[in-house]
């Protein structure tokens, strides 16, 4: 059974840092791009960052570029998101998922159903 477990969220002041982790089990995602997405109540899930299967290429939403860094450890089936200079608008539940590039935008796999519970990030002003 495929399972993704996100962790590392919490409450932090603006300007602070957090490191999110995503642990995958049940299958290996090491051959696929992986991404981080976030969602706030009443809004659609939005793309944050993605990383190629090899880890050699990374992609970011404009809103987090220069502040967030995505990385992965294929051997451990882990994906990470280092978040620095956090802003109140970064407050959301963060999820990881396998993803693909469609045109110029990254989306989770359309038939992916094994979403984790996410990890809450709250940034106070």
**SS3 for 5-57, per residue?**
EEECCEEEECCCCEEEEEEEECCCCCCCCEEEEEECCCCCCEEEEEECCCCCC
**pLDDT (tens digit, 9 = 90+) per residue, 80-105?**
999 999 999 999 999 999 999 999 99
**pLDDT (tens digit, 9 = 90+) per residue, 15-42?**
999 999 999 988 888 899 999 999 999 9
């Amino acid at each position: 059974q495929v399972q993704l477990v996100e962790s590392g969220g919490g409450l932090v002041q603006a300007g602070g840092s957090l490191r999110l982790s995503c642990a995958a089990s049940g299958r290996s995602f090491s051959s696929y791009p992986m991404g981080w997405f976030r969602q706030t109540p009443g809004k659609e899930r939005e793309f944050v960052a993605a990383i190629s299967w090899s880890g050699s290429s990374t992609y970011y939403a404009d809103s987090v570029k220069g502040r967030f860094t995505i990385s992965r450890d294929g051997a451990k089936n882990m994906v990470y998101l280092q978040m620095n200079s956090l802003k109140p608008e970064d407050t959301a539940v963060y999820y990881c998922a396998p993803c693909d590039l469609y045109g110029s935008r990254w989306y989770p796999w359309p038939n992916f159903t094994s979403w984790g519970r996410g990890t809450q990030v709250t940034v106070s002003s």
